[in-house]
Amino acid sequence: MRALITGVNGFVGRYLVRELQGKRHSVSGIGRGPFEMEGVWYKDVNLMDREALKQAIDEINPELIFHLAGIASVSYSWREPQVAFEVNVIGTINLLEAVKERQIQSVVYVGSSEVYGPGHRLGEKFNETTSPNPQNPYATSKYSAERIMLQMGQMYKLPVILTRPFNHIGVGQNEGFVVPDFARQIIEASKRDEGIRVGRLDVYRDFTDVRDIVRAYSLLAEKGQPGETYNICSGEGRKISDILDLMRRKYGNLNVEPDESKMRPVENIYSVGDNNKIRTEIGWEPHYLIEDSLSGVLAEWEIRLK
């Protein structure tokens, strides 16, 4: 089928391209700035520009849509909450308006586990029936986008499928996320005998390899139920301090120092998902071990910082 990926030039978009091409879909993408990838028709489009977006949709004529584009940083959303809402909510509305008269087979919306907010107690996993309780502008914007996706999807008879991916990791992820931030600092500290500066290490997160994440998106486009929400996660909570220990163990006894600038104004202590729904309904489960994912990121940063 003809697949469109919004935000194709982001970390996840490139992996999704390969996943869809592996299933013989023709892939087009829109995003901001330059982008080039073999076999992908690409156009630089601002989601806030309704006319340019409509023109791109007319040219692509998609059958499958994967909506990845948006502001993805919690810290940025605290600095620029208005921008986060404009891009994540109004941009989503503009996309739906641009495709409302088309025969679309599936619209997969990439949301965020951040909409759940803080866990009530350690060991309690979020499932899709957990009431959202977003605690930052990013999470609030993503939950708002979810609701408008469902409402406009019903109005325009679009087969909208909502996803709530938890933390995902892999080679190519930009700094600003915990694993690449750790990797850069670990490689630099191992060369210069410096310390590693960190935010809170006592929080728990659910990590999944990005290759497993995009496989879930593809399967949901094929088998997901319109109007439904699916967690995408490993189902295993890992303390951030344990992630750091896994990453630094082969680099010696590197000193770790707290950094107030890396502390969020509001922090979710335990954010771990229940993946039973996607396992049983779609047949998805993660394949990649976290140790392998972390090793890949460290190897990437060793090359970058040679």
- For 260-275, write each residue's pLDDT tens digit: 777 777 677 899 999 9
Q: Do 143 and 149 form a contact (C-beta atoms < 8 A)?
A: no
Q: What is the pLDDT of residue 261?
A: 78
At residue 192 the predicted structure's pLDDT band, cuts being 50, 70 and 90, is confident
What is the mean predicted confidence (pLDDT) over 291-299? Answer: 97
Q: Nearest-CA neighbor of 109 among 88, 133, 125? A: 88
**Taking all residues of the chain, what is their mean pLDDT, rounded to a whole number?**
95
Extents of the domains making up the chain: 2-168+207-232, 171-205+237-271+288-304
pLDDT at residue 213 greater than cutoff 90:
yes
What is the mean predicted confidence (pLDDT) over 67-75? Answer: 94
Q: What is the pLDDT of residue 75?
A: 86
Q: What is the pLDDT of residue 130?
A: 96
pLDDT at residue 194 greater than cutoff 90:
no
Q: Which helix (H) or strand (E) holds 186?
A: helix 178-192
Q: What is the pLDDT of residue 260?
A: 77
**pLDDT-above-70 percentage for the chain:** 100
Q: What is the pLDDT of residue 252?
A: 82
Place of tokens 């060369």: 191
Give residues with Cβ within 8 angstroms of 264, minimum separation 6: 74, 75, 78, 136, 199, 200
Domain 2-168+207-232 annotated CATH 3.40.50.720: yes
**pLDDT-above-90 percentage for the chain:** 86
**String of b and e for 134-164 (b: at least 16 CB within 10 Å)?**
bbbbbbbbbbbbbebbbebbeebebbbbbbb
DSSP per-residue codes, 234-284 = -S--EEHHHHHHHHHGGG----EEE-GGG--SS--SEE-B--HHHHHHH--
pLDDT at residue 216 greater than cutoff 90:
yes
DSSP 198: E
DSSP per-residue codes, 100-141 = TTS--SEEEEE--GGGG-S-SSTTPPB-TTSPP---SHHHHH
What is the mean predicted confidence (pLDDT) over 179-187? Answer: 96
At residue 188 the predicted structure's pLDDT band, cuts being 50, 70 and 90, is very high
SS3 217: helix
At residue 258 the predicted structure's pLDDT band, cuts being 50, 70 and 90, is confident
What is the mean predicted confidence (pLDDT) over 278-292? Answer: 97
Specify the range with the lowest mean pLDDT, choosing from 14-18, 22-26, 121-125, 288-292.
121-125
Q: How deeply is 131 buried, as exposed, middle or buried, from its count of CB atoms within 10 A (0-12, 13-18, 19+)?
A: exposed
User: 208 or 249: which carries more pLDDT confidence?
Assistant: 208
What is the mean predicted confidence (pLDDT) over 217-235? Answer: 98
At residue 306 the predicted structure's pLDDT band, cuts being 50, 70 and 90, is confident
At residue 123 the predicted structure's pLDDT band, cuts being 50, 70 and 90, is confident
> How far apart are the C-alpha atoms of 183 and 175, rounded to whole Å?
9
Domain 171-205+237-271+288-304 annotated CATH 3.90.25.10: yes
Q: What is the pLDDT of residue 97?
A: 97
- The most distant pair of C-alpha atoms in the chain lies apart, rounded to whole Å, by 60
pLDDT in tens, 18-64: 999 999 999 999 999 999 999 999 999 999 999 999 999 999 999 99
Place of tokens 């609701």: 147
pLDDT at residue 209 greater than cutoff 90:
yes
What is the number of residues in the chain?
A: 306
DSSP 205: E
Q: What is the pLDDT of residue 263?
A: 76
